[in-house]
Amino acid sequence: MSALSLRGIHKSFGANTILKGVSLEAEPGEFIALVGPSGCGKSTLLRILAGLETADGGEIVAANQDITRLKAAERNIAMVFQSYALYPHLTAAQNIAVPLLMRRLTRAQRLPIIGPLMPGRGKAIAEIKHDVGNMAASLKIEHLLDRKPGQMSGGQRQRVALGRAMVRQPAIFLMDEPLSNLDANLRVHARGEIVDLHRRAGVPTLYVTHDQAEALSMADRVAVMIGGALLQLSPPHVIYDDPQHVEVAKFIGQPRINLLPSQIEAGSTVAIGDVRCALQDRTPSSGTSITLGVRPEFVRIARGGDTGLPARIDRVEFLGSEIIVHSRLDAVGEAMIAKVSPAEGAGLAPGMPIRLHVQGEHILVFGADGARLPVTRLTSSMVRETVHG
Amino acid sequence: MAEIAASSRLITHSPSRTTDQGEAATAWLLSMPAIVLIVVFILLPVAAVIVLGFTDFELGYAGFKFVGFDNYAELLTDRTFKRSLWNTAVYTSLVTPVSVFLALGLAIMIEKESIGRSFFRTAYFLPVASLLVAMATVWQYLFHPTIGPINAMLAEIGIQGPNWLGASSTVLYGLSIIGVWQSVGFNLVLFLAGLTSIPRELYAAAEVDGARSGWDRFRLVTWPMLGPTTLFVTTISIINSVKVFETVKTLTEGGPNKASEVLLFSIYQEGFVYLRVGYASAMTVVFLTILVVLMFIQYRIQDRQVHYT
């Protein structure tokens, strides 16, 4: 049984289609990062899930209950907003108490003036105070409880927003880029904290971000959304090593994956430099255009010799533990990026002619529609056999 | 050595001193037009009114003498003045809350409207832009006891309409309706501006937090976030109500039987009809004091309560 499932969610604003049938299943206690470039529809998906937008099609099932038609207030889903959206006129304690007040007090008990006279209110308020206190203690924000949002730093506001979302122990937890308003140092620190909180609470979490480092480092599984479609939902290392779509490969990885346009050659093989691979599916005819992808760390640089792809260095970036070498292939003029160790990259300078060697087992082949084509690497004896035999 | 140090200090400091002086002079020069205008057009007239309030000056008579607090003593026993103070208070306490809350309600409704929004905004703003004196004739017709459409409509549902502006028991209510009609559009535009500045995410947060009904979201987000706007609108409305004059002058002349005698109308009568400038000035001082107190209260509340950042 999954904790949450989205089935074929469609959404368009006017003629603009934002979501093209997104389906997703979250296991109990799972942390899923929804990552994609801005405008890919990830925030819209989150808002639909929260009940702030209605989907044009599809259904949402949470804990075996169809919640597609429920209002936001009726869903047991909490959300942390990018701007935190704290109520500026309320103190931190009051902010955290709002979801409890709304749920535990009756409408009559919440009325101004006469509300306090309603029976049972005092007891409920005391319980709420107690719960807010516990929440604050677990987030270590007791000292902030009497402050208003205007008197807090970004990091403090973010904690209060987390507290407000977690205090009512929701069935599902949504976060919309909660770290994007923090400075770089605080962000890395806050990442660890959120993962920690998630582990303790065990509530399935959907975390929207455009920052792939956040997604890869925090999530159990990463969902890559591009152009309103969910292209792949896999654990971080699978997303990186084994992307099923060229867009996923392009989006994930820093520096970006090298992509070279190419064609299927005789015997359903593809070649890059002196490396040749055979397509497992032999139906596409030769001449069909494909894209070859190689991650920068699998490109080796040689300063001479006659094997490998001849190229010329454009730019060298020194990053301390590694060196990023931007070069351009002599033959086709395509840009190639290589990530090498400082020892290997020492002495490289712009304008230098080099030879690039691709590590064959790490070549990714994508078809014209962007889908991944499985390949097997061929040894030189097999090459003769396949191509000429 | 000491001399060198001293002289070098002189050298380093003297340019900055002249710059400071130069800056100060420029600052005075730049603010001079504003200062002159404020003194000539605001402070001097107010001072003149205060001084005249202590005299028996009457327009047309040469010379005047200081009479101390005689004018103010007379005000205390002046039944017309007391009546006008009371009427102004009643008028203000009717017009201000109705025009503020009506404007707030309308603004919230119009805000939700996407197509007709600018039309409604313009329509409600028309009374503000139109000339009240000219529109008063329209109201005179509307309120007419026999041919007026208001009483005709009341008759349709079986209610005998009153002689709105002609009976001392209803004249203040009639004037209040006109007052509300006139000020609601202005308040509405201010509330619309206030509403658009509320971050949308706060409403989203309120929904997620369990604010089911529109009332819950109003209480949790709209009302507190509109605090500064509401305070401003309320103050402006009170001040404008206290200053009611045109409708009284054009429609009722303070009547019948001084039932619509208001502060500004009394001042006008004393100053421009009976030409008792000294006495009218004393009234004006009272009037100004009321306004200053109201503004002072507004700023105190604003500083304490409605500033969130």
Q: Helix crossing, B227-242 with B277-304: angle to 10°?
A: 170
Q: How confident is the model at residue B3 (pLDDT cuts 50, 70, 90)?
A: very low
> Smallest Cβ distance to B209: which of A98, A107, A148?
A98
Whether residue B256 is preceded by a cis peptide bond, meaning omega within 30 degrees of 0, is yes
Chain B environment of A110 (Cβ under 8 Å): 216, 219
**Is the CB of B207 less than 8 angstroms away from the CB of A71?**
yes
The CATH code belonging to domain A4-246 is 3.40.50.300
Quickly state the pLDDT bin for B2 (edges 50, 70, 90): very low
Q: What residues 174-203 of chain B have any CB closer than 8 A to a CB of chain A?
A: 199, 201-202
Closest Cβ–Cβ partner in A81, A88, A150 for B204: A81
Please tell me the predicted confidence (pLDDT) of residue A389.
43
User: What is the arithmetic mean of pLDDT over A335-362?
Assistant: 89
CATH number for the region B70-304 comes to: 1.10.3720.10
Concatenated DSSP letters of A231-272: EEEE-HHHHHHS-SBHHHHHHSSSSPPEEEEEE-BTTTEEEE
A73 and B210: CB-CB below 8 Å? Answer: yes
Query: Count of CB atoms within 10 A of residue B135's CB?
Result: 18
Residues A281, A289 contacting (CB under 8 angstroms): no
Look at A370 and A274; give whichever has higher pLDDT. Answer: A370
**pLDDT number for residue A241:** 92
What is the side-by-side order of every strand in the sheet holding A31-35?
Answer: A77-80, A172-176, A205-209, A31-35, A221-226, A229-234
Q: Where in chain A are all domains bearing CATH 3.40.50.300? A: 4-246
Distance CA B253, CA B248 (A): 6
Cβ(A280)–Cβ(A374) below 8 Å: yes
Instruction: Give pLDDT tens digits for A125-179.
Output: 888 888 888 888 888 888 888 888 888 888 889 889 989 998 888 889 999 998 8
pLDDT tens digit string along B48-60?
888 888 888 877 7
Among B203, B207, B208, B229, most A C-beta atoms within 10 A, so best to mutate, is B208
Per residue in A76-99, pLDDT tens?
899 999 889 999 988 888 899 888
Provide CATH code, domain A255-388. Answer: 2.40.50.140
Average pLDDT, rounded, for chain B: 83
Whether A274 has a pLDDT exceeding 80, the answer reads no
The alpha-carbon gap from B294 to the nearest alpha carbon of chain A, in Å, equals 25
Q: What is the mean pLDDT of residues A45-69?
A: 89
ipTM rounded to 2 decimals? 0.81
Where does the pLDDT of residue B171 fall: very low under 50, low under 70, confident under 90, or very high at 90 and above?
A: confident
Three-class DSSP labels, B166-223: CCCCCHHHHHHHHHHHHHHHHHHHHHHHHHHCCCHHHHHHHHHCCCCCHHHHHHHHHH
In whole angstroms, how far apart are CA A126 and each of A100, A120, A129, A143, A296? Answer: 11, 10, 5, 20, 59
Encoded amino acid at A196, one letter: D
The pLDDT assigned to A230 comes to: 92
| Contact at CB, A50 and B208, closer than 8 angstroms | yes
Contact A273, A320 (CB under 8 A): no
Q: For a pLDDT cut of 90, what percent of chain B falls above it?
A: 18
pLDDT in tens, B252-306: 877 788 888 888 888 898 888 888 888 888 889 988 998 899 888 888 887 766 5
pTM: 0.78
Every domain range in chain A assigned CATH 2.40.50.140? 255-388
* pLDDT score of A388: 52
Average pLDDT over residues A375-380: 77
Residue A219 has pLDDT above 90, yes or no: yes
How much is the pLDDT for B305? 64
